[in-house]
Amino acid sequence: MPSEEPPEKAENQRPGHEDGDPSGAGPEQEGQAPPVRAPEPGLHLVATPIGNLRDITLHALDVLRGAALIACEDTRVTANLLRAYGIRTATTPYHEHNAEAARPRLLARLHDGEIIALVSDAGTPLVSDPGYKLVRACIEEGIHVTAAPGASAVLTALTLSGLPPDRFLFAGFLPPKSAARRRAADELAEIPASLIFYESGPRLADALADLAATLGDRPAVVARELTKKFEEVRRGTLAALAAAYAQEGAPRGEIAIVVAPFDREAAAPDDATIDKALQRELAAHGTKEAAARVAAETGLPRRALYARALELARAQDE
C-alpha cells in the first residue's frame, strides 16, 4: 500500500522553490550552470565591467547575445567588451548629446516587441548617464523594463573604503568651479551618511580641498582604477589627501571619493569655543573665509559657521 506521507524535500532545497530550482528553468546537475533563458522583449539594463573584463555576469552575456540591439554610451568602448566575448549584436549610440533624437527610435522598436539592451561605458546604467529618461519613457508607455545587475564603481568604492556602508548618498560629479563645488558640498554637510562622489584627475586635489573646507577635515578615501592592474585605494583625511594629490599631480583613471558621515556628537565643540575660533579668524579674514577655516578645523558645517560669523561680525560693528 503506498505511503500517504509526502516525499521528503531535498536537504538543500530553498523555501519557495518546490522543484529545488531557484531560477524556474528546471533542475540542474551539481556543477552544471542553469540553462540559458531567452530574454523577454523589452528594455534590459545591463551592468558591464568597471575595469576587469571578467567582471561580467552570465546573465549579462545572455542578454547581450539575445538582444536585437545594444544602446551604448560609446559604441567603441562597448565594442571591446563584445569582441572579448564573441558577441556580434548590433550597437547604436545613446548618450547625452543624442538622447533626445535617439529615444523615440528606441521606443518604436521596443513597441514592436524587440529586445534592447542598454549599457554604459562601465558599471551599472543610469548611474551618471542619460538612461534615466529612457527608462521613464518606457514605464510611462507600458514597456517592460528589467535588469541584469552587476558591477558598480559606487558600491565597490564604498565597500573598499572602510567607512560606514549602512547609509550612503551618491552625489555624482561635483561642479567644476570651486564656488559652485563648495555650495554643492554645503548642501550635503549635515547628512548622516557616507558621501560618494565621482571626480576627474585634474580636479581631484582642488575638489578634496573644497570638501575639507566645507565639510570639515573628515576621514575620506580616494578609490581609483578599481579592479584594474593599477588599482589604488588611498585613505586619510580630506585635507591630507588634498595635499598629497596637489604635490603628486593629477592622477589618471576613473576616480571615486568616499567621505565619512557627518557626526553631530563628535563635531560639537561648545558655543564659546566656536565663537572664539570664529573671532580669531575674523580678525584676519572675511566672514566666508573665516567660516571655511573653522569648518576645516572643527568638522562643523560651513553654512552654520558662516551664519554665526555674520552675527559676530555685525555685533563687532555695532
CATH assignment of the domain containing 220: 3.30.950.10
pLDDT tens digit sequence for 229-277 = 999 999 999 999 999 999 999 999 999 999 999 987 665 677 888 888 8
Asked if residue 107 is part of any domain, the answer here is yes
Of 259, 282, 300, at which residue does a domain stop? 259
- Could you tell me the pLDDT band of residue 17, with boundaries at 50, 70 and 90? very low
Residue ending a domain, choose from 98, 131, 151: 151
- Give a yes or no: residue 3 inside a domain: no
At residue 129 the predicted structure's pLDDT band, cuts being 50, 70 and 90, is confident
Q: How far apart are CA 212 and CA 208, in angstroms?
A: 6
User: Which residues span the domain enclosing 185?
Assistant: 154-259
- Residues 137, 49 share a domain: yes
For 317, phi then psi, to 5°, come to: -80, -20
Distance CA 257, CA 141 (A): 37
Strand partners, 222: 234, 257
What is the domain count for the chain? 3
Asked if 160 and 144 sit in the same domain, the reply is no
Please check whether residue 13 lies inside any domain of the structure: no
62 with 141, same domain: the answer is yes
pTM confidence score = 0.76
Residue 251 in any domain: the answer is yes
63 and 107 together in one domain: yes
DSSP result, 220-279: EEEEESTTSTT-EEEEEEHHHHHHHHHHH-PPPS-EEEEEPPP-TTTT---HHHHHHHHH
Q: Do 301 and 226 fall within a single domain?
A: no
Q: pLDDT tens digits, residue range 36-79?
A: 888 999 999 999 999 999 999 999 999 999 999 999 999 999 99
Please check whether residues 97 and 130 belong to one and the same domain. Answer: yes
Same domain, 233 and 174: yes
